[in-house]
Structure 1
Amino acid sequence: MLTRKLFRQSLAPVVDLLYPPRCPVCGEAVGEHGGLCQSCWSGLVFPVAGEGEDTAQVSTATLYNDTSRKLVLAFKHGGRIALAGLLSRLMLARLPALEGDWLVVPVPLHRRRLWTRGYNQSALLAREIARAREHKLLVDALHRQRATPSLGGLGRAERARVLNGAIRANPRHLARLRGANILLVDDVMTSGATTASCCDALGQAGAAQVHIACFAQVMDEAL
C-alpha cells in the first residue's frame, strides 16, 4: 500500500503537467486534482447539528444547493467517477465513529439504468467509505426489482407509492444481512423515499440497525 502511494506521488508532477488540475465545478485552476477552488468551496453549505439530518440515523455531508448540485451532476451523469474521492471524503468528515462490525451497502440502481450509465454512483461512494473505515462492502446487498420513473417533481407520498416494493434484499445475502449493522450509502437524499424503501428491505431481512450516509440532502427550509 505504501509503495503504491509513493508511486502515485512520484507521478503527480507529470500528471499535473499533462492534465492541469481544475475545479470540477467551475473549471478554475486548483492546486491539486480532486480539490475545489476557494469560491466553490465557499459555495457548499454544511449542515449544523439538527439541520439537514437526523443525527441518530443520518449523516449528511452537505445541503443540496447549486454548488453541490453541479458536483452531483458531474459525478452522476457526467461520467466524472474520480469525484468519488472528493465526495466520499466530505461524507466521511460528517460520519461519526461506528462501533463494531458494519456492512457498507449502496442504494441500488435498476440493471437497465446501470447498463445505461455504466456505474452506480452510490456504489463508488460506498467503496471509498468502506475502504477508509475498514468496513466490509456488500455492493449487491439490495436489488431494485423493477425500473422506476424519475422521481423528480413528485411529492413525498407519490415517491413512496412509486417505490413501494421496488427494492428488495438480495436472497443470496440474507444470512449476512440478518443481525448486521448496515451503513447505507446514497449520493442525494430528496424526500427520503428511496432510503426508506432500502431501510424497509433491510429491516425485513433482519438487519439490526441502519445508519444512512449521503453526500447532499435537500432541505429547502434550511437554505
Structure 2
Amino acid sequence: MKWLTCIVLFLPGLILAQVKPAQLQDGDFIFQDMDCGPLCDAIEAVTDGYAGRDFSHMGMVFHKNDTLYIAEAAGKAVRLTPLAKFAQNTKKPMLVMRLKAKYTSLIPAALDFTLKQIGVPYDDEYVYNNGAYYCSELIYDAFLYANGNKPFFALYPMTYKQPGTDTFFPAWVAYYKALGKPIPQGLPGCNPGGISKSDKLTVLGDLLLP
C-alpha cells in the first residue's frame, strides 16, 4: 500500500461531473481507491469516504515548471509524482476535492511545508508524529502548519479490528508481525476517507484523464 465537464458519472444517489487536468489548481486533493490487496481492503472496511466511496490513498496537486505533479507520501518517502504516473495506481475513478474559498489562503503555506518534507521516509507503522509520513498524515500536518499549528483536519482513534468484533484483521496481524511492531490500535491518526468527508472541502468531481 505504499504509495484523490460534460461527461457525468452515475453513483448511487449521486451524479458527479468529471474534471479535466487543466482545471486542477494547486492545493486540490485527489483521492484514490487503489485496490492494493488485503491491506487496502482492511482500510476500506473501517473507513467511510465521501458519499460512501472507498479511498485508500490521497495526494495534493502542485504545478511546477508547467508540469502537474501530485505531492504524496508513498513508496519509500514523500515525493512529487507526475499526474500520469499517480493515476496508474488505480483503474477506478479518482475524486477531486478543493478547499472552500475561505480556506484557500492556507494553501501556499501548506504546499511550502509539504515540499520541505520531500525525502522524509514513508511511515510504514502508520503512527502519527513519529518522524515519517503516510499519505493523509502528510496532508494533516501540512494544514496544521499552515493554520498556525491549530488542527485543521481531524485526528481519530485508529482501529485495525474487523467491524463489530474484537478481532484484528489477519492482514494487519501479519503486517505488524513482519515489522516487529505492535498494532497501534486506538492511537490518534487520520485516513483519506475521513479527510474526504471534511466540511472544509467541496467536491469538484472525478478526474477525467486523456
TM-score in terms of structure 1 length: 0.27
Q: Write 1 or 2 for the structure with the bigger share of helix.
A: 1
TM-score in terms of structure 2 length: 0.28
Rg (Cα) greater in structure: 1
Q: Write 1 or 2 for the structure with the bigger share of strand.
A: 2
